[in-house]
Structure 1
Amino acid sequence: MEVVQDMGMTDLQFKSWLKQIIRGLESAKEKGTKEETDKELDELLKDLKEDLQG
């Protein structure tokens, strides 16, 4: 019987992924209007959801 395991992220990959999230949040924080901030956050959320789906 063969056992298939999902290979998770390495520490380096996880840190890189966290850096992307931080950059996205910092970028949203720097936007001038609420609408621009919301748009930036919506894009970040979309990307994160896509990452979860694989």
Structure 2
Amino acid sequence: MADANRKDDWHLQCVERLQNYLGSPLLPAPLLAEIGYMLCSRADAKSEAEPTTS
């Protein structure tokens, strides 16, 4: 979640790592649902749909 939270201490490192990752991320469906829920509950639906930029 650090990539979505600019106030997180690890935000920049997380964004950089994700931008430079060459493979396809493999995440289980329940985790994707949880990430979506957390983004919506703490930010808004727009943040869930937009890619991370820093």
Q: Higher helix fraction: Structure 1 or Structure 2?
A: 1
TM-score range, shorter chain: 0.3 to 0.5
TM-score (norm 2): 0.36
TM-score (norm 1): 0.36
Which structure is richer in relative contact order (CA contacts within 8 A, separation 6 or more)? 2
